[in-house]
Amino acid sequence: MGFIKLVVFGFVGLTVVYWSVALFARSVTKERLENKFDAENPEGDRNTRDAYIADGLREYDTSIRPKLVGLVYIVPTVVIGTIIYTINAS
């Protein structure tokens, strides 16, 4: 029973963390793209800017970086496994 509680609440909690981190990482990437474009083309028009940012975000979405946010689920599971082993193996 305790195990089920841990899995359910752990999953819910980690999902909240997952989405927060995923949105944060994407937002930081977008801001970086905006700043980069503004620095390179001070006179750039709005449509080229939007296209540049959309391209950059598409590239980000296909890269490995957003997938690394999945570590939010994996790391705590590994840590719990390690704790269980070290505490109970004597």
Candidates 23-31, 35-43, 44-52, 55-63: pick the segment binding other proteins (CB under 8 A).
23-31
DSSP-derived letter for residue 5 is H
Does residue 15 belong to the site contacting other proteins (CB under 8 A)? no
- Count the site residues for other proteins by CB under 8 A: 16
Rounded Cα–Cα distance for residues 22 and 25 (Å): 5
**Of these, 13, 15, 16, 31, which contacts other proteins (CB under 8 A)?**
31
8 binding other proteins? (CB under 8 A)? no
